[in-house]
Amino acid sequence: MESLRRQASKLKEQVAKQQQAVIKQFSASGYERSDVMVIDEVEMQRHQQLEKLYRSTRGTKDFQRDLVKVAEVFTAIGYKHIEAGTKLSEDCCRYGAENNQNINENILPKAAAIYGDARKHVEKEQEDFNRLLSSQVLDPLRAMITGAPLEDARHLAQRYSRMRQEAETQAVEVSKRQQRVREAPNPENVAKLHAAEARMQELKANMAILGKEAAAALAAIEAQQHRLTFQRLVAMVEGEKNYHLRIAAILGDVEAEMVSEKQRKESAPPVIPSENSSQKAVYFLAEAIHPFTAASEKELSLGVGDYVVVRKVSPSGWSEGECKGKAGWFPSAYVEKRQRIPVSNVADEAY
């Protein structure tokens, strides 16, 4: 019976060792989770602290990788954007240059040239944003993800985890030796118990030192990870915001210039017909109800109350007439037709 008990005990030990070996194999790349109290409450708190720090640094590292992937995609899209935008700029400028002789009759070539020039500035902003992503986001995060301090701190935690597993096994060994001494207190069993207890004390002392060192290293890395990742995230958001604001400003100026060109063309006075034109002139008297300042020598300045002899009215909204010895074009809506000049105005002019 005693022989069977010993064989069963040996078999149990072998199974326990095999289980520990399997656990070590699968936990070699991480920190082993365990709710077993190996030594005391203080060690248990240290173990839980390291487990929490290990998970935190791993989670932040994964988030840093996500940010790097996003920044890489943004950069790749940016280069495609630059390539397409540069081609568009060249096409617009070419069209504007090839059709500039028709610019007075057609606003499209002028608009194409304006937009083509603006695209160059848009692509310059895209290049600047790509450089910002590289220097302010990608490079710092990559350096920290692959940096030695993070790996060194995590290796310390992994060493502590393996040492804790060894201590857990050693605690079982001490308990077993104590049981044998109680059953057979011979010198051999007592010596083996003392050796097991000495090894347990050695592991306990080493765990205290290594645990403290690993916790300090991981806590420092965790704080550095959070600080640097937050800074890089803010830099990416700020850079993207400024990029879009500058693009919006460039396109806003382009739109304003295009609209201005369109309005200028639509509101420009018609070409003055030649003296040999067969168009019949119609004369009538009009009074200026809004002031108008001539922008060219072909236009006629008017003050409120001035009387104009209108000679031609154009469908474009401009009229041609004479006032105070000067002739030129003015907006038709700025005057109203009159039958005659009031007597007071005639007297003032005579005076």
Domain-embedded: residue 13: no
The CATH number given to whatever domain includes residue 123 is 1.20.1270.60
Q: 64 lies in a domain?
A: yes
Q: Which of 267, 293, 320 is the last residue of a domain?
A: 267
The answer on 305 and 219 residing in a single domain is no
- Return the CATH number at 336: 2.30.30.40
Residue 141 and residue 229 in contact, taking contact as beta carbons nearer than 8 Å? yes
pLDDT tens readout for residues 122-172: 999 999 999 999 999 999 999 999 888 888 888 888 888 888 888 888 888
Shared domain for 182 and 322, answered yes or no, is no
How many structural domains is the chain composed of? 2
Last residue of a domain, one of 267, 295, 320: 267
Residue 82's contacts (CB-CB under 8 Å, 6 or more residues apart) are 123, 126, 127, 130
Give the Å distances, CA to CA, from 95 to 106, 110, 253, 342: 12, 9, 21, 57
- In this structure, the answer to whether residues 152 and 127 fall within a common structural domain is yes
Q: Report pLDDT for 335.
A: 93
Together in a domain, 97 and 242: yes
When the pLDDT of each residue in the chain is averaged and rounded to a whole number, the result is 83
The last residue of one of the domains, among 213, 238, 267, is: 267
Residue spans of the chain under pLDDT 50: 22-29, 274-279, 346-347, 349-351
Co-location of 116 and 207 in the same domain? yes
Confirm whether 171 is domain-assigned: yes
Question: CA-to-CA distance for 199 and 210, rounded, in angstroms?
Answer: 16
| pLDDT value at residue 190 | 86
Residue 250 covered by a domain = yes
Residue 163: inside a domain: yes
Q: Does the residue 16 lie in any domain?
A: no
pLDDT at 279: 45
> Does one domain contain both 206 and 310?
no
Same domain, 149 and 241: yes
- Tens of pLDDT, residue by residue over 304-348, are 999 999 998 887 788 999 998 899 999 989 999 988 766 555 445
For 80, 144, 247, the CA distances from 130, given in Å and listed in that order, are 11, 20, 14
- Domain shared by 86 and 53, yes or no: yes
**One domain, residues 177 and 55:** yes
SS (H, E, C) the chain: CHHHHHHHHHHHHHHHHHHHHHHHHHHCCCCCCCCCCCCCHHHHHHHHHHHHHHHHHHHHHHHHHHHHHHHHHHHHHHHHHHHHHHHHHHHHHHHHHHCHHHCCCCCHHHHHHHHHHHHHHHHHHHHHHHHHHHHHHHHHHHHHHCCHHHHHHHHHHHHHHHHHHHHHHHHHHHHHHHHHHHHCCCHHHHHHHHHHHHHHHHHHHHHHHHHHHHHHHHHHHHHHHHHHHHHHHHHHHHHHHHHHHHHHHHHHHHHHHHHHHHHHHHHCCCCCCCCCCCCCCCCEEEEECCCECCCCCCECCECCCCEEEEEEECCCCEEEEEECCEEEEEEHHHEEEECCCCHHHHHHHHC
Q: Does 10 reside within a domain?
A: no
Its domain, for residue 346, covers: 284-350
215 with 290, same domain: the answer is: no
Q: Are residues 42 and 179 in the same domain?
A: yes
217: nearest Cα among 150, 164, 160, 143: 150
**Domain identity same for 190 and 299:** no
Query: Does 6 fall in a domain?
Result: no
What pLDDT does 274 receive?
47
User: What is the C-alpha to C-alpha distance for residues 190 and 200, in angstroms, rounded to an integer?
Assistant: 15
